């Protein structure tokens, strides 16, 4: 059987007129699969079944133009809100609220000190040690929020990239915050490469990389929905 | 008949057909096309190219709403549901078409019944 999704994506996106989302590609491909299956079930050989299926479309450029026209900007904004912004907001709020609750319950983070004094020349008491901060209960909740974001995004048939970004959004937001805070902090404290490395690595590990791994654990199963379920 | 008039009649009949079907139950695109063809004995036929632009246009107007759901076989399909706004369109559309057929009938002896 031809890969109808790939064919629809290629044909529609090859036309300048097409400006719609993956959701449309998916719906059109599913329709073609149904037509093809019906043609095959009626006893047509594969080549003829493909021909009958393609007759449903006729002119790809014309179809792309009509769909783009029917799907106005408003529709496209609605889709983006439903498939990306809303799931991202829910994921972000959930992860933040979870941290807030854990902190308000008085649960202390688990600190692991890493001694860097042997790396510093000359040895510095001030920057010789950094701590890794593990809020275990919060980290344990993150796979759930990652999964929730990717699921909500996937439910609107968002692309794999959108689902991934939605699932990882709390960590990505922290990355943006770090990129803003770090230069400001260095400007206030005085710039040094060592300080940049220590604070940068500390911030990235504690608030970006480790939470991102936890979020990814929940996000991964929702990135690739089974084609069997879709077709 | 000019192409424009023919296109408007086709479009109008398509809207009425889709709204009438969805008033009975939510359906996905392929099923809408199949049922229209079957229930009109092939007199009305929707290809993919004629169906989806119309569905998307109706969705934009708020008459129908597409939602991804699994069908009986557990496969994801985009089911179109009639909205309250779409339901309100049904009666006037039916009235318009009734008047249209009556007018044609009185003029050319073409009955819709």
Q: Encode pLDDT of A178-189 as tens digits.
A: 888 888 887 887
Residue A168, pLDDT above cutoff 90: yes
Measured between beta carbons, which residues in chain A are less than 8 angstroms from residue B48? 28, 31-32, 35, 56-57, 63
Residue B94 placed within a domain: yes
CA–CA gap between residue A157 and residue A138 (Å, rounded) = 29
Q: Which of A76-85, A88-97, A133-142 has the lowest mean pLDDT?
A: A76-85
We report the CATH number of the domain holding residue B101 as 1.10.10.10
Residue B85 placed within a domain: yes
pLDDT recorded at residue A230:
46
End-to-end CA distance of chain B: 23
* Contact (CB, 8 A) for A8 and A25: yes
Structure tokens at A231: 């077709």
CA–CA gap between residue A23 and residue A122 (Å, rounded) = 59
Structure confidence at residue A19 as a pLDDT band (50, 70, 90): low
Structure tokens at A152: 């909500």
What is the share, in percent, of chain A residues with pLDDT greater than 70?
Answer: 84
Measured in angstroms, the CA of A78 and the nearest CA of chain B are apart by 10
Residue B19 placed within a domain: yes
pLDDT recorded at residue A11:
84
Residue B24 vs residues A43, B20, B27, B77, B113: alpha-carbon distances, Å: 32, 7, 9, 18, 21
Would you say the C-alpha torsion A108, A110, A116, A118 has a positive or negative sign?
Answer: positive
pLDDT recorded at residue A166:
94
Q: Rounded mean pLDDT of A133-149?
A: 90
Structure confidence at residue A228 as a pLDDT band (50, 70, 90): very low
Structural domains in chain B (count): 1
Note down the domain range covering B34. Answer: 3-108
Q: At what angle do helices A169-189 and A160-167 cross, to 10 degrees?
A: 60
Measured in angstroms, the CA of A168 and the nearest CA of chain B are apart by 24
Measured between beta carbons, which residues in chain A are less than 8 angstroms from residue B11? none
Nearest CB neighbour to B56, from listed A62, A70, A225: A70
Q: Rounded mean pLDDT of A59-81?
A: 77
Count A/B contacts: CB-CB distance under 8 Å: 70
Lookup result for tokens 């854990």: A102
Low-confidence ranges of chain B (pLDDT < 50): 1, 113
Residue B25 placed within a domain: yes
Reported ipTM = 0.82
Which DSSP letter does residue B63 get?
S
Say whether B56 and A67 touch across the interface (CB within 8 A): yes
Residue B113 placed within a domain: no
pLDDT recorded at residue A226:
45
Residue A35, pLDDT above cutoff 60: yes
Measured in angstroms, the CA of A27 and the nearest CA of chain B are apart by 7
Residue A213, pLDDT above cutoff 80: yes
Three-state secondary-structure class, residue B76: strand
User: Higher pLDDT residue, A72 or B63?
Assistant: B63
Q: Cα–Cα–Cα angle for B82, B31, B88, nearest 5°?
A: 15
Residue B89 placed within a domain: yes
Residue A104, pLDDT above cutoff 70: yes
Half-sphere exposure (Cβ direction) of B73: Cα atoms closer than 13 Å: 7
Measured between beta carbons, which residues in chain A are less than 8 angstroms from residue B29? 27, 30-31
């Amino acid at each position: 059987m031809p890969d109808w999704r790939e064919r629809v994506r290629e044909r529609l996106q090859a036309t300048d007129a097409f400006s719609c989302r993956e959701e449309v590609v998916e719906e059109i491909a599913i329709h073609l699969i149904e037509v093809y299956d019906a043609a095959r079930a009626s006893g047509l050989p594969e080549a003829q079944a493909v021909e009958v299926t393609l007759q449903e479309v006729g002119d790809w450029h014309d179809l792309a133009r009509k769909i783009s026209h029917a799907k106005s900007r408003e529709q496209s904004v609605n889709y983006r809100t439903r498939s990306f912004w809303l799931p991202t907001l829910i994921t972000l709020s959930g992860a933040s609220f979870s941290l807030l609750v854990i902190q308000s319950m008085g649960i202390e983070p688990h600190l692991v000190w890493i001694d860097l004094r042997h790396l510093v020349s000359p040895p510095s008491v001030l920057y010789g040690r950094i701590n890794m901060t593990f809020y275990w209960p919060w980290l344990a909740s993150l796979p759930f929020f990652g999964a929730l974001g990717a699921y909500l995004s996937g439910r609107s048939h968002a692309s794999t990239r959108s689902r991934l970004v939605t699932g990882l959004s709390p960590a990505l937001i922290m990355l943006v915050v770090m990129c803003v805070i770090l230069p400001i902090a260095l400007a206030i404290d005085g710039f040094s490469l060592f300080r940049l490395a220590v604070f940068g690595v500390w911030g990235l590990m504690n608030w970006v990389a480790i939470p991102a791994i936890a979020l990814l654990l929940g996000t991964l199963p929702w990135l690739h929905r089974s084609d069997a379920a879709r077709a | 008949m000019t192409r424009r008039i023919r296109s408007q009649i086709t479009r109008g009949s398509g809207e009425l057909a889709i709204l009438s079907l969805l008033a009975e139950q939510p359906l996905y695109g392929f099923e809408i096309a199949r049922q229209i063809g079957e229930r009109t004995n092939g007199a009305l036929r929707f290809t993919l190219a004629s169906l989806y632009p119309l569905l998307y246009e109706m969705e934009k107007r708020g008459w129908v709403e597409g939602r991804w759901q699994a069908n009986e076989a557990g496969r994801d399909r985009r089911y179109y549901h009639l909205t309250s706004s779409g339901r309100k369109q049904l009666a006037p559309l039916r009235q318009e078409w009734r008047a249209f057929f009556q007018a044609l009938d009185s003029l050319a002896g073409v009955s819709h019944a």
